[in-house]
Amino acid sequence: MILIPAIDLKDGEAVRLYKGDYQQKTVYSTQPEDIALAFEKMGADYLHVVDLDGAKEGTTSNLETIQKIRNILSIPMELGGGIRDMKTVDLYLNDIGIDRVILGTAAIENPEFLKAALQKYGPQRIVVGVDVKDGYVATAGWLVNTQTHYLEFLKELEKIGVQYIVCTDISKDGTLTGPSFDLYEDIYQNSSLQFVVSGGIKDAADIYKVNEKGYYGCIVGKAYYEGKIDLKEVITCLQKESSPV
């Protein structure tokens, strides 16, 4: 399992929202690149970045901050939020040097674009963000609810050739109440997709449980920012466990 620390960007700052509510925002840093570097020094293998302004507006609002983060890091970085056309995919993957992008709204509203992106860059670099609210997929920064059940959506993604998804239970995000393990087990049993658990991680035990279940990855955000997790210790523990004897 890969453990992926997260930085959510709004107005150039590192923030966290509560259940995706843009009005319930906590600012953790005005220098997100410093947080990114700290994650790398802790031993993180990957960084997850979300452009919240982009997700809401379909823009590249935090481009300058994203470039700063990419320039300071040597570890791989994935980015989601507002990536809704090939021009933006090209910008992030080719010009900015992002390792993989996460398509959310565009993946459900424009499957032809998703197919084209997969054909151009491959499933290792094109990841789909599946944001779930009450069993159904939500889009546009979680502000729009669709009538598409998440398992139905996952089947469509598999047909298109998607291999990796980041799945977030919106009701859990930023709550520190633990992930929706029932949701993830449902995906594990009914899909061949490799998925990243996102939303609700409250402590190290949650991360170890994700690892024990054999899921592909886990994102940690608020639990780190609120001092609930010694991230360096958890990363070291996971690395020891995966090392050959």
pLDDT tens for 205-233 read 999 999 999 999 999 999 999 999 999 99
| pTM (predicted TM-score) | 0.93
- Number of neighbours of residue 87 by Cβ within 10 angstroms: 9
pLDDT digits (tens, 9 = 90+) for 69-118: 999 999 999 999 989 999 999 999 999 999 999 998 788 889 999 999 99
Residues marked active site are found at 8, 131
Instruction: Using pLDDT thresholds of 50, 70 and 90, give the confidence band for residue 180.
Output: very high
Residue spans of alpha helices (H) in the chain: 32-42, 52-57, 63-72, 86-90, 105-109, 111-121, 150-160, 181-190, 204-212, 222-225, 231-242
pLDDT value of position 18: 79
Tell me: pLDDT of 244 over 60: no
Average pLDDT score over residue span 135-158:
86
User: Are 98 and 125 in contact, with CB atoms under 8 Å apart?
Assistant: no
